[in-house]
A and B are shown apart, each in its own frame.
Chain A
Amino acid sequence: MEYQITWFILWGILWAVYFMADGFDFGVGILYPYLGKTDGEKRTIINSIGPVWDGNEVWLVTAGGATFAAFPVVYASMFSYLYSALLIILFALIMRGVAFEFRGKLDGEAWRRGWDWVIFLGSLIPALLFGVAFGNIFQGLPMDRAGYHGSLIGLLNPYGLLTGLLFVTLFIVHGALWTAMKTLGALSARAATLAKNSWVGLLLVAVLFLVNTAFQTNLYRNFLANPIWLVVPAVAVLSLAAIRIYLLKNNYLHSFFASCLAILTVTFTGIIGLYPNLIPSSLDPAYSLTIFNASSSVYTLKIMTVVALLFVPVVIAYQIWVYRVFRGKLVVEEVTKDPEAY
C-alpha cells in the first residue's frame, strides 16, 4: 500500500515538474513571434530555450513511462480513451521539436515565418490540451462497466476549457518572465510588461477556476477532510502574489522562481484533490481508476522506486548544472553571429 502511495506522489511530481519545465518554453513558443520585433530578437528568444527545451520535454516522456510502469491500467485507459486529443498533442510536439532544429537552417523569410507559426501552434495546442485533459480528469471521465462513453468534443466542456485556459495563461506568464530574465534592453522590458499585463488575466482565470472547481469536481473533498493540505493551495496563492511583487521590483529571477512554485503547487492542488483516484469515473465511483486497482505489482513498484531514487537525483543534478552553464543574458548581436545557434 505504501508503494502505491509513493508512486502516486512520484506520478504527481513528474507531471508537476514537466509543467514547470516545459511550461516556460511553451510560453516562450507562444510569445516570441509577438515579442521579437526582428529576426535577431526572435532567434535570441528561441536560443534562450535552445539548450534546455529538449531536456524539459523528457519529463513528459518520463511521466508517460512511469505511468505505464506503475499504473498500467491508467496508462492504457488514458491513452486509448483520449486517443484523438493525444494524437493532436503528439503532432504538435513533433512539429515543434523539428521546427526548433530546422528554422535556422535556411535563411529565407517565408521559411522562417512558416516555422514561427509551427512553433506558435506547436506550443499553444499542447499547453491548452494538457489543461483540457487534466480538467476532464479532475471532473472524472464517463466510464463504467462497458468502458468509456466520451468523445473528443465532449472533452471541450466549459470546465475542461477553463483548465486549458488556466494552463495557457500560467505558461504565458512563465514564458514572459523567462524572456525578461534571459534578455536585455527593450526586448526584456517588453517581456516584463507583457508578464505584468498577463498576470492580471492569470489572476482572473485562477479565481474562476478555483470557484468552478468547487461546483464541477470533488477536488475539495480531501482538503475539507484534512485541512492541513490547504497549505498547498495557500502556497499557490502566495506564489501568484509573489510573481507580481517581484515583477514590480524588476527582480525577474525571483519572479520566475515564484512562477515555478506556482505551477508546482497548482498542479499538486489538483493531485491531492484526486487522491486516491488517478482517473475518477463521473458515472459511478465503483469504476474509478485508483492507485489501488490500477497499479502494478508491489515487486515492480519496488524496483521502480529503487530506480527513481538512484537516478532522478542524478538527473536533477546535471540538469541544474546545465542551466548554470547557460546562466546569464543573451545578447542579440552575439546570437546572430553564432553559427551554431538555432
Chain B
Amino acid sequence: MDVLSLSRLQFAMTAGFHFIFVPLTLGLSILVAWMETLYVRSGDEIYLWMTKFWGKLFLINFALGVVTGLTMEFQFGMNWAEYAKYVGDIFGVPLAIEATVAFFLESTFIGLWIFGWNRVSKKVHAFAIWMVALATNLSALWILLANGWMQHPVGYVIRNGRAEMVDFLAVITSPYGWLKFLHTILSGYVVAAFFVMGIAAWHLLRKSHPVFFRKSFRMAAVFGLASSLLIFGIGDFHAAEVAKTQPTKLAAMESVWETERGVPLYLIVLPDVKNERNAIEFIGIPKVTSYLAYRDFNAEVKGLKAFPAQDRPPVMEVFVSFRLMVMLGTLFLVLSALAVYLSWKGRLEANPLFLRILLYTIPLPYLAAQLGWIVAEVGRQPWIVYGVLRTSDAVSRQIEPSQVMASLIGFGIFYSFLGILDIYLLAKYARKGPLEGPRSKPTPLKEA
C-alpha cells in the first residue's frame, strides 16, 4: 500500500477511536453537572452519590478522549503536510482557538473538580464541572467549524499557491459548521443518555440501589428523549445544507443516479454501483427526496451521473451508513420515549424485557455516531476540502510507506490495548454501584 492509503486508513482508525470517547464526554459532563447542581440546590446526599458514581465513569472515559485527541492534532502535520501547508492559513486558526479557549478551560477545571472536593465550596465545585461541560462542547464547536470549512469552504481566496483566509466571520458563522456542531453534540447527548439508562437498567434488573438508579434513569431518559427529538430536526436541516453545498454527497446518501425533478424516497434500495443504477427500488414515497433536500416537492435533484466518475464519493459506504444511521436515530426516539413514559409511570421494573433491551442498546448510539462520520468524511471524497483540494494531493510527500505502516500497526496494537483496558475499568466500576469506590468507606445513604 502507498502512503496515501495507509495515511487514510490511519486517520480513519484514530479518528474513529477518538470518537468513541468524545461523545460520552460531551453528554455525560452535562448530566453529571446537572446531578451536582441538584445536590447543591437540595442538599440531598443521593445527588452527591450520583455525581460521584457517574463522575467516576466519566473520568475513566475522559482520560482516553483527551489523549487520543492529541493524535489528531499531530497527524495533520505528520501525514497531511501538503494539506497543512495549503490550508493552514484558515484551518489552523480554529484549531489554535480550540486549544486556547476550550482545552485550557477543560483541563484546568477537571483538575479542580477531581481534586477539589475538600478545597473549594460546593458551589465552586459544581461550577467547575459546568466549566468542563462548557469547555468540551466549546471544543466541539471549534473543531467542527474547522471540519465544516473542509466540507463547505467559505471566506477564502486562492493566493500565493494556497488558500488564504479573507473573512474570518464567514468561517465562524458558516451554517454548515454550526449544523454539524449541533448534530454532533446531540449525538453525544444520545450516547450519554443511553449509556446511563443501560447501566441503570442493569442495576434495576438486579434490584441494586433502586432509588438511586431510578432517579439516574429518569434524568437520562428525559435528556435522551429531548436529544433524540432535536437531532432529528437538526439532521433534517443538516441534510438540506448538504444538498445545497455538496450535491455529490447527497446523491450518494440517497443513491440517486439520474438527475430528475420530484424524486421519490424509496424505503428499500440496493445500489448497483458498477452499472450506475439501483438494482432494487421498492416502496417509493413520491417526491419526498426532492422535498427533504430542497423543501420543494418538484425540485431537481442532481444524480451521481451528472458528475464525472472521479468526482464521486464511494456510493455504497455512504448510502448504507446514512440509512443505518437514520434507522438507529428512529430507534433511539422510540426507545427514549418509552423510557420516559415507563419511568414516569414508575413501571420500569415491571418491564424487565425493556430494561434488558436498553442494556444491549448501549453500543448502538456509538455505532450511529461512527456511521455519521463515515457519511460526512467518506461522502466528501475524493476531496479533503470540498471542491478545493483533493485528498490525494494533501498527503505528506516526505514520509515513507514503511513509516506509516509502522505507525499504523503501532496505533492498532496500542489502541486495542487501551480500548480493552477502558472497557474493563468502565464495566468494573459500573457494576460496583454507587457505594463501593476503591477505597471509600460505605456511608449510609438515604433511600428517600
Contacts and interface: CB of A to CB of B under 8 A. Distances in A.
A232 B357 CA distance: 66
Given A52-B111, A70-B92, A72-B89, A58 B78 contact: no
Secondary structure type dominating chain A contacts:
helix
A55 B90 CA distance: 26
A66 interface: yes
B60 interface: yes
B161 to A, nearest CB: 11
Contacts of B439: 336-339
Interface in A95-131: 97-98, 100-102, 104-107
B403 A84 contact: yes
Interface string B88-113: 11111101111111011101111110
Contacts of A70: 92, 96
A139 interface: no
Interface residues of B, number: 73
A147 interface: yes
Interface in B151-185: 159-160, 164-166, 168
A339 B440 contact: yes
B393 to A, nearest CB: 13
A75 B92 contact: yes
A98 B90 contact: no
Contacts of B410: 87, 91
Contacts of A341: 115
B119 A65 contact: no
B92 A299 contact: no
A157 interface: no
A211 interface: no
B77 A61 contact: no
A83 B403 contact: yes
Nearest to B94: A69
A335 to B, nearest CB: 10
Contact of B70 (A61, A80, A104): A61
A326 B119 contact: yes
Which residue among A70, A78, A87 has the maximum number of chain B CB atoms within 10 Å of its CB?
A87
A29 to B, nearest CB: 15
A87 B165 contact: no
B85 interface: yes
Secondary structure type dominating chain B contacts:
helix
A300 interface: yes
B116 interface: yes
A45 to B, nearest CB: 14
Interface in A209-242: none
A318 B103 CA distance: 13
Interface residue range, chain A: 35 or more
A107 B428 CA distance: 13
A304 B93 contact: yes
B98 A65 contact: yes
B418 A69 contact: no
Nearest to A295: B89
A51 B112 contact: yes
A47 B115 contact: yes
B37 interface: no
Interface of B: 59-60, 62-64, 66-68, 70-71, 73-74, 76-79, 81-85, 87-93, 95-101, 103-105, 107-112, 114-117, 119-120, 159-160, 164-166, 168, 396-399, 403, 406-407, 410, 414, 418, 421, 425, 429, 437-440
9 contacts: A62-B96, A79-B84, A80-B399, A91-B410, A105-B425, A300-B93, A322-B109, A325-B112, A326-B119
Given A47-B115, A91-B410, A299-B165, 11 more contacts: A54-B111, A62-B96, A66-B99, A70-B92, A70-B96, A76-B82, A90-B70, A90-B74, A91-B414, A93-B70, A307-B96
Interface of A: 47, 50-55, 57-58, 61-62, 64-66, 68-70, 72-73, 75-81, 83-84, 86-87, 90-91, 93-94, 97-98, 100-102, 104-107, 147-148, 296-297, 299-300, 303-304, 307-308, 311-312, 315, 318-319, 322, 325-326, 336-341
